[in-house]
Amino acid sequence: MSDLLILDIGTSSVRALVYDAEARLVEGAGAQVVCAPDISPEGDVTFDAAALFDAVVAVIDQVSAQMSARDMPIRAVAACTFVTNILGIDAEGAPATPVLTYAAPGCGDEVATLHTALGSEGAGDLHDRTGCLLHTSYLPARFLWMERHRPAWLARSARWLSIGDYVLWRLTGDLCTSY
């Protein structure tokens, strides 16, 4: 009996594997679609949300066919994604931005601005409340960077999701966050 489909939305590929009820890898049940980020001349490191979603659907379709041929149903799905990513969607749910990653350079000035605005005590309080330091890979600096350098992205975006949230929403119709 197969149980668990594992999806991994990574920065180099989207992968799917199946594990049985005893956490053993099911031989021959897997798929992978290679992907790569877009890197702009300014240093933005992004992914196209539609392309990542299409890759997820492709690996699910491949693994579903493999498991159907064995008459082994998939009973549950778990997923993981690359860390600290954010996607703006418009009021209709269409991507309004690319998927921004942790890897984009250029938020150093924004971190300094936030640190100055908060002071050492405020930055410490932020860390205590969230567990995150002011850092270029975290969202406070990323949103300030967008305000300064990509204001149209902010203006077009009605909601903010991770790529995992976006995929889950597109597959199920439920707009939620899973951590």
* Structural contact between residues 142 and 86, judged by C-beta atoms closer than 8 angstroms: yes
Residue 23: give its domain's CATH number: 3.30.420.40
Per-residue pLDDT 10s for the chain (179 aa) are: 568 999 999 999 999 999 998 999 999 999 999 999 999 888 888 999 999 999 999 999 999 999 999 888 899 999 999 988 999 999 999 999 999 998 876 788 999 999 999 999 999 999 999 998 999 888 899 999 999 999 999 999 999 999 999 999 999 999 888 76
* Domain assignment present for 177: no
State how far the Cα of 106 lies from the Cα of 86, in Å rounded to an integer. Answer: 16
* Domain assignment present for 156: yes
Number of domains within the chain: 1
Close Cβ partners of 71 (under 8 Å, ≥ 6 residues apart): none
* Domain assignment present for 178: no
Q: 45-47 and 76-81 as β-strands: parallel, antiparallel, unpaired? A: unpaired
DSSP state of 65: H
30: containing domain = 2-172
